[in-house]
Amino acid sequence: MEQTIHLRVNGEAHELTVRPRRLLVDLLRYDLGLTGTKEGCSVGVCGACTVLLDGKNVASCILPAVMADGAEITTIEGLAQDGRLHPLQQAFIDYGGFQCGICTPGQIMAAKALLDTNPHPTEDEIKEWMMGNLCRCTGYYKILDSIKAAAGSEA
């Protein structure tokens, strides 16, 4: 049976009617057209679908949207402000933190959750936090460099 839920997505309020089986990743991509969030493994392991739910990084591929009712969601589309990229987005460009790009929205959202709670993480803290976001092409050093650079620029 369809249900009505309320979400704030990137600061904008939405009232949506969804079936309980609708996963948050599909609601974002198909109902709201926010295709920046990607789906990879579909079982919460790869991190491609990472979004922020009330500021915390979660896997949107295993979260029925009804369970997010009332929450504030931030996706990759919500980071740039007034036409300016977020420092993390700029750093991923400047430091070559992506190649094919499919894992990048998830990498950046996970890194944002990290810097929001710990603005100046050590290298080990970055590695520990980002462990759950897999990349199959660029490799991890440039992602690490990008996050370190962004942490510096936000200082």
Cα angle 123, 125, 126 (rounded to 5 degrees) comes to 65
> Does position 13 bind other proteins by CB under 8 A?
no
CB of 82 to other proteins, least distance (A): 29
DSSP codes of every residue in 14-53? EEEEE-TT-BHHHIIIIIS--TTS--SSSSSSS-TTEEEE
CB of 64 to other proteins, least distance (A): 7
Cβ atoms of 64 and 109 closer than 8 Å = no
Window 53-92: residues binding other proteins (CB under 8 A): 53, 56-59, 62-64, 66-67, 69
Contact residues for other proteins, defined by CB under 8 A = 1, 3, 19-21, 23, 42-45, 47, 50, 53, 56-59, 62-64, 66-67, 69, 110, 113, 129, 131-132
